[in-house]
Structures are given as C-alpha cells and as structure tokens.
Amino acid sequence: MADVTDPRPGIADRLSRMIRLPTVSAELEERGTAPFEEFVALLAELYPLVHEHLDLERHTDFGLLFHWSGREAQGGTDGAVEGPVVLMAHYDVVPVDESDDWTYPPFDGVIADGVVYGRGALDDKGPLIVVLEAVENLLADGFVPARDVYLSFGGNEETYGRAAEEIARVLRERGIVPWLVVDEGGAVVDAPLPFVPGRAAMIGVGEKGVMTLTLSARGSGGHASAPPSLTAVRRVARAVDRLGPGTFRPRPSKAVGRMLTRLGSHTPGPAGQLLRLLGAAPLLTGRLFAALGGEAAALVRTTVAPTMQSGGTAANVLPSQASATVNLRIALGETTQQTVLRVRRRIRDPLVTVRVEEASEPSPESATDNAQFALLADALAVSHPGVPAVPYVMMAATDSRHLHRFAPAVYRFAPLDMSNAQRASIHGVDESVEIVALERGERFHRALLERLG
C-alpha cells in the first residue's frame, strides 16, 4: 500500500520534549502530578489531529483511552469486522539513581549524533510516540481504519498499572473484546541468542506472572554481645539462601519451542539444526537453558530474586524482627498458588512468615498461526524488511496483562531496533533510541493500521 503523505519531520524533537517531563510514577509524593498533567497537555499540542478525530476518555488520574472509529462504525460499506485493535503504551518512567553517571542528564532529552537520550526513550515514551506519530500521519491523509482502534496509555505501569487495569475493566464491562492487543515488550534485536546470528523481531506471545513476597521472622531482642544461635536476621537470611536458582524446576512453555524452531529455520548450518532439535525436545531445552543461567534460564523457569531486607535499630542491638522482600517471575503454565506452596516447602521453617504482597498469574499464550500474528509479520516486512517475526516469552510485566484474560490475541512488541547495550539501559544508565529506529517504528504502526481489513 503506497503512502500518500510522507511522515512529519521532527519526531526526535517531540520525543525530547516528552522526556523532559519527569513522569516518575514511583516519586509522586516528591514530584506531584504536575509532570503527568503537563504530559497530557503536551500530547494535545503535538498531536492535534489525534485529539480532533479521536474521542479521549480519562480513567483514573493516569489512564488515557483514545477511540478511533473504524469504517463500519462510520457507515462504511466494506462489511463488518469484529473486534477492535488496542495499541498500548505507558508514559511513566522509573526513577534515576543520582549517583549514576549519565553521559547526558536523564531528563534533558538531548539529541546527539542521530540519537535521543533520556529516561523513557525506550521504556516507554519511544514506543508510545511511534503509535501517535502513525495515527497523526494517517489522519493527515484522511485515512479511516477498517476496525475500531483504541490507544490505551497508562501513567503508572511502573507501579503496578492501576490505570490500565481500570481501562481493561471498562472495556470488558462494555462488552468490547479486542481482536488484537499490542503492547511494549520485545524489540528488533541483533543475535537474539548467543549462537544465533542476524536480526529478529522478538514478539512476546505470553508473559510471566509477577509475585512479591515478604519473608519475616521474630526473635528475642537484646544486647548483641550474647546472641542466640539463630537470630531473626539469621533465620530470614537462611530462608532467603534456601530460595536459590534451583528452587523451581525448568518448565519450557510451547512459546519457547516455537521460538527455537522459528530461529532454527533462519539460522544456517549446525546451529540451525541444534535450534530445531531443541525446539522439538522441551525437556532437553529446559535442562540446557537452566544450566546456562541468566536470561536463558529465566525463559524456562520461575525465577526468585531477593531485592530488599530490613531489621534492626542499632549496630549493637539484636533486632526483635527481620524481613526480606523477594520478587518472583512465574513461568507460563504455573500458578501463583503453586508458587507460594513451593516457596514454603523450600524454606522449611514454620517460624518464617510468608506474606503475598502482590501477585498476578502468568498469561495464556497467544497463537502464531492466526491472522493477528500474520498482520504483525506483514507490518514488519514493510518497516524492517527481511527481519523474521519470532515468538518468545516476555519476562517482565506489561499493562497488557490486564487484557489477556479476555482478549484472545495479545502480543508484546515495541517495533524499535535495540542493541544489547540499549536493552541493558532500560531502567539503567544512558537510555537512548536512534532516530532512524523511531522512524521505522512509526512505519510499522502505519503499515499495521493500513492492513486492518
């Protein structure tokens, strides 16, 4: 499908202005809501056609839901198509550690050497802007999508996504079942596995569940000069130590097998044969990936990560209580209930209390042999020619987890090129995105919306 109008220039400048607003959802008490309201006002300034032609609803203080009526709703004659498309992103960002050494200040939105720098460039203002750019450009051409389209933008994804949860509740209450949902997640990456050359568009067809646990224990306080053999701190420390990498057995999902098979078909020589073999042998894959550790192991099993611990009031006083916070990412096919039971069995200490602070179940797996995944691949062929669409399991949590219970096709993919260093900069230092990657991302979403028949 040929373009009628070239995309607007200046996408980097618009992203820079977004980055300059410190929409840090974890620092609401310190910063207040002003940056978030300024961001909403900035969207109205930068995308006038979106705000003229799409209906905007606010859900909670931080949820933005734009509705773009498709041809059928506008009285077109192309025939009915069931279910809208929901394109998701979030505009809040994580905090910055002031002791980190950034090349450019994280909230200055510096543009240098074809790159936009700043917190949120990749997570998730970059993926958000390419959606809005595509819609604004299509509206300038007078385009009307074949299906209804919703743009769902949350302002607190980094703090559990209550805005997206409310938007999902409203859609379900209205009987709106999305035909396709696309949220952040995968990207276009180089060497998706250590021995796999070339580029691949990694599309999350499922995401792991999330659970936060608090382990706590009480003990006798007193002077540190005469400690008992097992203090509250040692009891909690022992419990944490028992939750090692092998706490959960490998359990490769079907998505991992599909990922290996797809990568194998695009990898020449013995490496391709090995990938295809692993794709057909889940038990072998589970053992091998678990032995590799790191990201490979996280693909095939539930992970356990102690993240915080506390206890005590002075260096020479035995604390009467101690606690530790543990973050788990639950593998597809397991449940939160099974996870808690497994943790308690591994700890083997009735005097350690295990409390669930927050939990969400792993998602179902979305198909790769359907029209929705084919649409993503077709759009990729326009924006990133020659790059295969490869399914995988998303290990972090996204706002789309609030929709995957009733939407049959949910995919986690930000159509941006990301190097390994850029991927590592997400939630880290020197987060950045190339301008050419933003332009290709806009082209992906434009192609996707043009092909919604």
Q: For residue 386, what pLDDT is reported?
A: 96
Domain boundary among 360, 384, 416: 360
Residue 185 phi, psi (nearest 5) = 150, -105
Q: For residue 107, what pLDDT is reported?
A: 98
Q: Please, is 98 exposed, middle or buried when counting C-beta atoms within 10 Å of its C-beta (0-12, 13-18, 19+)? A: exposed
Supply the CATH number for residue 268's domain: 3.30.70.360
Q: For residue 77, what pLDDT is reported?
A: 44
Burial code of 30-52, b = ≥16 C-beta within 10 A, e = fewer?
A: eeeeebbeebbebbeebbeebee
Q: What angle do CA 120, 306, 250 make, to 5 degrees?
A: 95
Are 350 and 372 contained in the same domain?
no
Are 21 and 147 contained in the same domain?
yes
User: What tokens appear for 336 in the block?
Assistant: 């939160």
Q: For residue 75, what pLDDT is reported?
A: 55
Q: Please, is 78 exposed, middle or buried when counting C-beta atoms within 10 Å of its C-beta (0-12, 13-18, 19+)? A: exposed
Q: For residue 5, what pLDDT is reported?
A: 63
| Residue 180, in any domain of the structure | yes
Are 332 and 372 contained in the same domain?
no
What is the rounded CA–CA span in Å between residue 358 and residue 361? 11
pTM listed for this prediction: 0.92
Q: For residue 1, what pLDDT is reported?
A: 45
| Residue 308, in any domain of the structure | yes
Are 170 and 238 contained in the same domain?
no
Are 20 and 165 contained in the same domain?
yes
Are 229 and 348 contained in the same domain?
yes
Domain count, the chain: 2
Q: For residue 226, what pLDDT is reported?
A: 82
- Domain of residue 123 covers 11-207+363-450
Are 137 and 30 contained in the same domain?
yes
Q: For residue 197, what pLDDT is reported?
A: 85
Q: For residue 78, what pLDDT is reported?
A: 47
Q: How far is CA 76 from the centre of its chain?
A: 36
Residue (of 187, 257, 191) closest to 425 by Cα position: 187
Are 367 and 356 contained in the same domain?
no
| Residue 150, in any domain of the structure | yes
Digitized pLDDT (tens) for each residue of the chain, 453 residues in all: 444 568 899 999 999 999 999 999 999 999 999 999 999 999 999 999 999 999 999 999 999 999 999 987 665 444 456 799 999 999 999 999 989 999 999 999 999 999 999 999 999 999 999 999 999 999 999 999 999 999 999 999 999 879 999 999 999 999 999 999 999 999 999 988 877 888 999 999 999 999 999 999 998 888 888 888 899 999 999 999 999 999 999 999 999 999 999 999 989 999 999 999 999 999 999 999 999 998 899 999 999 999 999 998 899 999 999 999 999 999 999 999 999 999 999 999 999 999 999 999 999 999 999 999 999 999 999 999 999 999 999 998 899 999 998 999 999 999 999 999 999 999 999 999 999 999 999 999 999 999 997
